[in-house]
């Protein structure tokens, strides 16, 4: 019983991490590249808009998105009907096949501002002399980004990747609990290590807690994070340092 829930939570956590890496971080990098264009008007306003959801309480975000996506009183169904695509509406948070992806997209909406700001700061630190030299060599526009800026911000890319890894295994509990509750429904389809640890240690509803099982899950979670951080520090980070030198 515990083993089945553990591997289900671990699998969901890995999927959550991969979705954030494949969706959130590329979007953040693209937005940061656009915001770093010196001639862009209103860049400060755009930065504020993109970062603002990060400042919201997770409980507030969960409640708002439950209202938006609710098939009973949510605005999504009416909006899709008005656009003539109402037949595609589904109770995405209530379906096992789509609940985890929906939660992930909500999480991306809230937290995309953090990697965006990290990428943005890294892009601003690219020496102007290097960019001017690239222009003299005939590069312009996106070629400067791909050939010059992107290689120079590789350490930041690695940092964002490991922060995404740690965050998905430690901080994903908040958004899932606020949206789906402690049982991480439907049928544990959104269960992650954080919610599994919560239930196994403290218990939830009819499920009794077990301090020994909770401690075991917490230890496993610690070693999962430790392995990821070790791979980054002794693998990726060392290669990036050799690249910089």
What are 69-83's pLDDT values in tens digits?
Answer: 988 888 898 899 888
Residue 217, pLDDT score: 92
126 lies in a domain? Answer: yes
Is the pTM higher than 0.85?
Answer: yes
40 lies in a domain? Answer: yes
What are 166-224's pLDDT values in tens digits?
Answer: 999 988 999 999 999 888 888 899 999 999 999 888 887 767 778 888 999 999 999 99
Domain count, the chain: 1
32 lies in a domain? Answer: yes
Residue 196, pLDDT score: 92
226 lies in a domain? Answer: no
Residue 244, pLDDT score: 53
179 lies in a domain? Answer: yes
Q: How many CB atoms lie within 10 A of CB 127?
A: 10
Distance CA 214, CA 198 (A): 8
156 lies in a domain? Answer: yes
For residues 23 and 167, is the Cβ–Cβ distance under 8 A?
Answer: no
**3-class state of residue 129 by DSSP:** helix
* Structure confidence at residue 104 as a pLDDT band (50, 70, 90): very high
Q: What is the CATH number of the domain that holds 51?
A: 1.10.3720.10
Residue range(s) defining the domain that contains residue 67: 1-192
230 lies in a domain? Answer: no
For residues 113 and 199, is the Cβ–Cβ distance under 8 A?
Answer: no
Distance CA 221, CA 169 (A): 8
Residue 57, pLDDT score: 92
84 lies in a domain? Answer: yes
């Amino acid at each position: 019983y515990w083993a089945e829930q553990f591997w289900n939570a671990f699998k969901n956590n890995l999927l959550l991490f991969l979705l954030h890496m494949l969706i959130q971080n590329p979007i953040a990098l693209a937005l940061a590249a656009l915001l770093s264009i010196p001639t862009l008007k209103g860049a400060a306003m755009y930065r504020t808009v993109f970062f603002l959801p990060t400042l919201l309480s997770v409980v507030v975000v969960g409640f708002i998105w439950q209202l938006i996506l609710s098939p009973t009183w949510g605005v999504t169904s009416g909006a899709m009907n008005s656009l003539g695509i109402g037949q595609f509406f589904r109770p995405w948070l209530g379906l096992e096949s789509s609940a985890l992806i929906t939660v992930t997209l909500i999480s991306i909406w809230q937290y995309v501002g953090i990697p965006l700001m990290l990428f943005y700061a890294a892009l601003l630190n690219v020496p102007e002399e290097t960019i001017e030299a690239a222009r003299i060599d005939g590069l312009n526009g996106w070629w400067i980004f791909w050939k010059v800026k992107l290689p120079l911000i590789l350490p930041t890319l690695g940092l964002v990747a490991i922060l995404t890894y740690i965050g998905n295994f430690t901080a994903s509990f908040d958004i899932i609990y606020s949206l789906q509750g402690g049982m991480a429904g439907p049928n544990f389809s959104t269960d992650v290590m954080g919610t599994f640890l919560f239930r196994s240690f403290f218990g939830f509803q009819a499920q009794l807690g077990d301090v020994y099982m909770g401690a075991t899950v917490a230890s496993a979670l610690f070693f999962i994070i430790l392995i990821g951080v070790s791979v980054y520090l002794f693998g990726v980070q060392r290669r990036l340092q050799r690249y910089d030198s």
